[in-house]
Each structure stands twice: as structure tokens, then as C-alpha cells.
Amino acid sequence: MTTVGLLGAGGIAGAHIAGWLQLGVDVVVHSREGAPKLVARYGGRVASSLDDLLAQCDIVDVCTPTFTHRALVEAAAAAGRDVVCEKPFALTVEDTEAMIAACADAGVALYPAHVVRYFPEHVAVHDAVERGDLGTVAVQRYDRQGTMPVSPWFLDDELSGGIVTDLMIHDIDFARWNAGPVASLRAVRSVPDESGTVAAQLVLTHASGSVSSIGGVWSARPVAFRTRFEVAGTGGVLRYDSTTNPTTWVNGGAAAGADGYAPKATLGESPYVTELREFLAAIHGGPQPRVTAADGLAAVRIVDAARRSLALGEVVNLDTSLDTTLEGAR
């Protein structure tokens, strides 16, 4: 039986441990805090230390805060374990390249958990692009809006990279998946104030000439999480808005936690399960997943450029010759 060693016990760890357990693998968890609570809720076992976890597992799943990724991925590689790593890979291109090199040298796999590539509505539009239904993709527009994260490290640019690196990287990766390498970009961000609300806007010009507009919001006022996009090409246009696609709408019903009717998420398999299954199959000799370490590195290069753009207030050009997507991942 395959054993996954899960590092971290925060928000994304919950989605991953549920996914791994659904796939029938054994899970052992290590975290500075929260591991017993996570295991009590979902299942699995607690490892007493990083070394204990590495000794017990076949695959390491890094779900810790971004700034810790490099050291943990390097430790996993040194122990000869295949690695799944939550996005973003790291805060810098240098760290990401070091992680990739460590895994390559150790002969282990390294996959970035860019889960948006597994969300069914995103899959639907990407498949349409791949089939050529949209013709040449000319303009993409993405919005990703939610309440500001609870864990303070997200809000510290030094630790998370900020909203572009942590949140908007999802749409950056997806826009690049559809329209190819990014040649230049410019980012702007709201002026920080006491409210804490952060809103950033990123405009990508792809090497193909295609353009993408990406908006991200961490709202201080609690808001429902929302994504929307529009992809327009010579063959037509596709759009999606999570607020206007309710499969079940209830007027009345039960309040949260109370008895009565409240719809459960019934859209089918969790994208996290789809993602982890694909990684697991690849580690076991199956086909390469739809997202690879090269994609993870390309995404970090783009967010790194976006952070420089924010600092400079200027357009930043990227060297598209460095955007080498591995064979099979498009």
C-alpha cells in the first residue's frame, strides 16, 4: 500500500488528506501544529517528526506555507521520496529551480498542485481551446475573489508573496495553459489601508500576442468565494461565473448547522481527488500529469515578474525561451 506523508495541517491539507484517503492510500501527517486535529477529523496517522514521516512514506505532499517549501522538498528528495507540492512552488525562481534540481538529482517526481487545472468548468474551457473550438485565443479575463485569508502568513508578502503569488497564480497558470508563454506583463495593486482589503490587477501579453486580464481580491468584508472567466477567440467565446451557476437554489431552507434541507456539494468528484489521482498514477508509472514541474516553474517566473512590476510600477518582460513546457503537458 502506498503511504503519503502529508506535511502541514492548514486549509489545503484538509482538502488533500480527504483526497488521498478517498483514493485509498495510507496517510501519515506531520505539522508544527494541528496534525492530531486533522487526523481526528479525516483519518490517517500522526508522525512524530519530519524524519519519522519520511521513514514511513513513499510520497511526500507538501502543504505547508510557501516559504517552507524548498527545505521540505529538498528533504523529501534527499530521502528518495516522490513529491507533490502545493502551489506556488516557492517565493523565488531560485528556490524553485533548486527544488526541481534536487528532485531531478534524486530521481524522484515533483508535481505542483495547480488544482485549477482540475476544476471541471476550467477543464471544459481548456478542452474547448485544445479542440480548437475557440480558434485562436485572443482575450482571456479572470476574476478570483474571496475573503482575506485567516492565517496571518498569507498577508505577509515576505512569507506568501502576496495576493498575486498566492491567489492569482491559479489564473496565471490557467491563462498560460490556454494561450502559451507570457512575453510581458504589468501588475497594479490597491493602496494598502487600515481596512486590509487587497485588490490586484495583472495584465499578461502572451508570446502569441494574446492578452489576459486577471483580477484578484482578498476582501476584508466577508464575501462568498467567487471565480469567473471569459475566453474569447476567433471561433467564439466561453464564459463562466460561479455566482450564476447554482445547480440547486434554495429560498428558505436550513441555516448553517441547523436541521432541514441544505444542498451538499453535488458537482461530482472533488478536483483535489482528480488531481491527486493523476499525480499518484504518474508516480506509479502512468502518463504524465496535465501539470508538471516545468509549469510550476513557469508560474513562479511569471509571479516573480509580477512582483517586480508591482515594485517598479512598470512593464516587465520575460524571456520566453525559459518557458520550456515538458513534453506531454502542452
Interface with another protein by CB under 8 A: which residues?
A: 136-139, 141, 143, 145, 184, 186, 188-191, 193, 195, 197-201, 203, 205, 208-213, 215, 217, 219-221, 223, 226, 230, 232-234, 236-237, 313-315, 317
Q: How far is the CB of 299 from another protein (least distance, A)?
A: 20
C-alpha span between 143 and 20 (Å, rounded): 29
Q: Which of 43, 103, 45, 116 is nearest to 69 (CA)?
A: 103
Q: How far is the CB of 143 from another protein (least distance, A)?
A: 7
Cross-strand pairs, 147: 219
Q: How far is CA 312 from the centre of its chain?
A: 26
Q: Which is nearer to another protein, 188 or 262 (CB)?
A: 188
CB of 213 to another protein, least distance (A): 5
Measured from the CB atom, the residue of 158 and 193 that comes closer to another protein is: 193
Q: What is the DSSP letter of 189?
A: E
The Cα-based distances of 328 to 109, 194, 287, 290, 291 in angstroms read 15, 47, 9, 8, 9
CA atoms within 13 A on the CB side of 218: 23
Q: Is 149 exposed, middle or buried (0-12, 13-18, 19+ CB in 10 A)?
A: middle
Closest separation in Å from C-beta 116 to another protein: 19
CA dist 323 and 251 (Å) reads 49
- Residue 106's H or E segment, with its range, is helix 93-106
Q: Output the smallest distance, CB 110 to another protein, in A.
A: 33
Taking the least distance from each CB to another protein, the nearer of 64 and 210 is 210
CB of 210 to another protein, least distance (A): 6
Nearer to another protein, 71 or 199 (CB): 199
Could you give the angle at which helices 293-312 and 93-106 cross, rounded to 10 degrees?
170
Closer by beta carbon to another protein, 216 or else 271: 216
Nearer to another protein, 22 or 136 (CB): 136
